[in-house]
Each structure stands twice: as C-alpha cells, then as structure tokens.
Amino acid sequence: MPVNSSLTTAFYAAPQFPDDAQRLFEAGCRAVGLGEAGPPSPLPANRGFASALVLAREWGMSDLEAELVAAIEASYEPTWDTERAEFTWGMGLGEPHPRGQYNAYLATAEAAGPGRWTALSAAPIESCPQIVGVDFPSMALSRAEWVGDALHLSLAPMVENPRALTEFRLVGAEPRLWFITGIDNAMMDTRGADVVFRVPMVSADMVLMPGIY
Amino acid sequence: MASWHRFDLVDSSYALGLMAQRTPAWTERYVQVLDRLIERHTSWWSAADWLTQFGPDPDRGNYPDAYRMLIPEELWGDYDVPGWTANGIEPWGTQMDPVAADGMLFYKGFFLLLLGIRSMVADDDRWNTPFDMIRDGDNSFSWRHSAIAEHLKEQWLAAPIGCH
C-alpha cells in the first residue's frame, strides 16, 4: 500500500497504539508534503487529509492543523445549505450529492480536539442528568456539560428570534428549582420528575444552578 | 475496497462519538442517529458485496493499472483485488452469514466499531438484545453486540493470521 494511506490507518490505530500510530502518521504526512513542501493544491478528494486533521487536533499539532485547515477550506468546498440545515463538503467533485465517507471524516475533524478520539475508545461517557426534547435542528446545543452542580448550556439556534420560545427538559436530576443565569426571559417549570425550560431562540451561554427543593 | 454502502454508515458514527463528548449532557440526538445507522447496517445491503461476489472475480483480467500497487506482480491477472469478497471459495465454501463467516473481517470489525461507539455514548444496552441481520428469507441471522465481539475474538484465537 502507498505510504500516504497511513494517514487513515494511523487514525484507527491511534487510540490503542499511539506511538506506532504517530510514526505511521508522520510518514504519511511526509509522503503528501504536509509540514514540508506543502500538500498538493487543490487537494485530491480522499479521506487522508481529513483523518490527518483529526489526528493533528487529537495530538495538539497546531502548525499542522493550521496547514490542513487552510488546504481543506481552499479545496473541499465547505457549504452551508441553510434551507435544509445541512453543512457539507463538495470535495471539488462536481457531484449533486456530497460523498458520505469523505464528509464523515471531515465532520469528525470538526468535532475533534485534544485526546477526544482516544477518550472515546477508553471509557463510556459518564452517566449524568440529560437534556432531552430539544427542537433540533431549529435549536441545538454546542455545549451541554455539568461542571460540579451547575449545568452549562450553549444555545445555538439555526435562526435567532428573541420573540420566539423553544422548550426542552432536564431529566434524571432531583426535582427542584433551578436558578438560570446567562440569558434573559427564560422560564422553568416542573412536569412530574422533569424540569421544563422555555427559552428564547437566541445564542446564549446559560447556566443552571441548583436552587431549593 | 471501502466503496460500499456500509462504510458511509460506519464512518458517520465517528463524528457522533466526538460530538457527544462535547455535549455529554445532551446525547439524545446522537443515540437516535446511531440507532438508525445500526438498523441500516443489519440489512441485506450492508453485506451486498459478500452476498453477490461469489468465487474469484470474473473481471480479474481487466483490472485498471491503478490496481497494480495492490496485487503481486507475478499474480497480475490471476488474483482478486483487495475488497473482492470471494464468498464460496475453497476450503470455506459458501457462507451466507457475513458475521459467522470465516472471512469478512472488514464487515464484522467495522460493525463492532459502530456498535461500540453507540455503547460509549448511550446509557442503555439496546443492541445486546438479539436482533436479526440480513433478513432475506432463510438467510436471516440473529446476533447481538457482545456475541459478535466474542465470535470475532474466537476467530482471531483460532487462526494466528486472523480472520481473512
């Protein structure tokens, strides 16, 4: 197999054999000019550059990450279809439908970060009270994370409209009142064991702090 | 080799697993999408190559030059390109269950990856209850996540070179 295929092999090997994966990865990078003469322009349509970006972010290789981001932005046609709420890459192929596998790797790179790919293989996500019933894709959460007793939510509506409300629930937490900070005009209510939140359709970093029972 | 429907399903799961790490208190959507991907991977189409590519590739003699880097020079014209599944060749014979089969490593291995990512994200153990695969008359096969993993482990232990 050509050595540049190791860019994808290293992606699969990284969580279990990081040292060997890094050697493979570096050989693959050299084979396609990354970090040296520069990658071909435009980039050929394949998985390798996207999986390389995952690993550059996984291993905190910021220079390589910047090189890959610039090349991918220039060659792979990142495109928002706001009517369908879809973000895809055309890859320069001139095809009516985005390629599934290539887009899958590029989407993985968008979600990648230091140690994340390894962590996914290491242990299940820790069980915690969950937000459910978000009206996706009209509303999404770019952060939903417990920090101590506080739940941090970053609201990311597709279209902002402060006069429109959307609703979601918190399940699995002890029934109680919650203090809401970071957003105006948000309301909460209890429905059985669940807590229901109504918030305006705005981008905001809201924090739920436990209040009285 | 990777140009089959199931690779779109499996590869799409990687981003979901990473996104779930970014929003660990909101995993509902990821689990729903992963379940749909897994459901599709239980269908006949997930194994369309294994269920249609029987015996040696009849097109062996007409491979493009680009395949030369994948095939030993002395066997050019008499060797299947990697990815041709060759169900039915001796000594194994025809085996219609792609999981139980002696071959088809890249089917069950990647399916386990998809199931494994779902198990890392979801609270429940849905795919460890038996489910039907392929679902084509007599060619229907019952599996569950742990059973597939156990079967593949036994195949690796039984053959030092691994599952082909």
At A34-79, the pLDDT tens digits run: 998 899 999 999 999 999 999 999 999 999 999 999 999 999 999 9
At B73-110, the pLDDT tens digits run: 999 999 999 999 999 999 999 999 999 999 999 999 99
Please check the confidence at residue B3 and state whether its pLDDT lies above 90. Answer: no
A100/B120 CB distance under 8 A: no
pLDDT given at position B164:
73
Going by C-alpha positions, the residue among B144, B145, B141 that lies closest to residue B43 is B141
Going by C-alpha positions, the residue among B123, B34, B29 that lies closest to residue A156 is B29
Structural domain boundaries, residue A90? 3-122
Going by C-alpha positions, the residue among B102, B96, B113 that lies closest to residue B155 is B102
pLDDT given at position A110:
97
What is the Cα A60 distance to its own chain's centre?
16
Q: What string of DSSP letters covers A38-59?
A: ---SSPPSSSHHHHHHHHHHHT
CA nearest to A112 within chain B = B18
B14/A128 CB distance under 8 A: no
Q: Which among B8, B24, B28 has CB closest to A145?
A: B24
What is the arithmetic mean of pLDDT over B4-31?
Answer: 96
Residues of chain A contacting B19 with CB distance shorter than 8 Å:
111
- CB of A104 less than 8 A from some CB of B: yes
- Rounded distance between C-alpha atoms, residue A113 and residue A69, angstroms: 14
Q: Which among B7, B116, B117 has CB closest to A101?
A: B7
CA nearest to B82 within chain A = A1
Q: Whole-number mean pLDDT of chain A? A: 95
Which residues, in sequence order, are bridge partners of residue A144? Answer: A153
Name the domain boundary from A106, A122, A138.
A122
Residues of chain B contacting A3 with CB distance shorter than 8 Å:
none
pLDDT given at position B2:
67
pLDDT given at position B1:
65
Residues A24 and A97 in one domain: yes
The domain that contains A178 carries what CATH number? Answer: 2.60.40
B25/A142 CB distance under 8 A: no
Q: Locate the domains of chain B by residue range.
A: 5-158
DSSP state of B25: T
Residues of chain B contacting A145 with CB distance shorter than 8 Å:
22-25
- Rounded distance between C-alpha atoms, residue A111 and residue A186, angstroms: 29
pLDDT given at position A154:
98
- Rounded distance between C-alpha atoms, residue A163 and residue A153, angstroms: 20
Please check the confidence at residue A173 and state whether its pLDDT lies above 90. Answer: yes
- CB of A142 less than 8 A from some CB of B: yes
CB B83, CB B101: distance < 8 Å:
no
Name the domain boundary from A61, A95, A122.
A122
Please check the confidence at residue A168 and state whether its pLDDT lies above 80. Answer: yes
Provide the domain count of chain A. Answer: 2
CB B96, CB B134: distance < 8 Å:
yes
Residues A143 and A48 in one domain: no
Residues A13 and A113 in one domain: yes
